[in-house]
Amino acid sequence: MNLSGKNSQGEGQAFLLLGLIGHPVSHSLSPAMHLAAMKYIGRNGDYRLIDVVEEDLDEKLSSMHKDGYAGFNVTIPHKGAIYARCIGKSEDAVRTRAVNAVKIHADGKMIGHNTDLPAFKQALEKNFGNRNRLRALILGAGGASRSAIAALVDFGFSDVKLLVRNPEKHTLSDFFCGDKLIAGETFNMIRSEDFIQEEHDVPQLIVNCTPMGQASSELPAWVDAMFKRAGERAFFFDMVYSKNNQPTPMIAAAQKHGIAAVDGLEMLARQAALAFEYWTDKSVPPDVMLSAIAENSLAK
């Protein structure tokens, strides 16, 4: 595989400006990945972190085209808000009602896309293997959880529970658009703290779609109880990723109970590669992104 970036097809092309909108974003590995992708296809450009709070979102979006951006990624907490603001949406964006990649056309029109869904499906397929696909537990109610739900529908899970802090703020229709639920499928929301106090069937898969463990190693008490109840036959997928090759706090909690687990690093690389191809129509192997992450970690 050629990772040198020596490629003549980028010569004479305009400077490629990309970025990441979210709050916070300082921890992101996206710049390293996308700069490596630009090098791989021989394109000059930059990838910038754009920390924006909700009240400043509209002002920032209105300036992106003027500032020369060709596209940008979206992370917590803006995936749903930017979905609502995009003029056009891809099929995966509509299905999840969440956007994590936006392409800005020459006329300033913003088209939203979701690469979390296919990236999660690819990473889960590789790591979950032939385990029983019946019951799953999803932590969180944001844009990432919508991608996880759509993927689990595709994988044939028939019993999916969402653990959320405030179930009264959501309805199940918030999470489904275009998915026809087959007879027998059950989806319901449970307050996170209530899960350990009630009797529920043991899930084969637990997916963390929240930022828990990203900024702090402190976890709510119900997390340890949840993993203890799930037992060692469960599998845990943490969308939070490690930047130092150490287990994330959530994965450490799962491993304490003998649960096999994987963090979100591979999903991150896969969604980045898909987003880069969406913006540039150039395919870059996810291994290029993973190598950039590894080099970035060694440099620190």
> Which tokens go with 266?
């591979």
Catalytic residues: 79
> Which tokens go with 206?
């637990």
Please state whether beta strands 135-139 and 205-208 pair in parallel, antiparallel, or not at all (unpaired): parallel
> Which tokens go with 290?
């993973």
Residues present in the chain in total: 300
User: Cα 167 vs. chain centroid, distance in angstroms?
Assistant: 22
Sheet containing strand 159-164, strands side by side: 186-191, 159-164, 135-139, 205-208, 235-238, 260-262
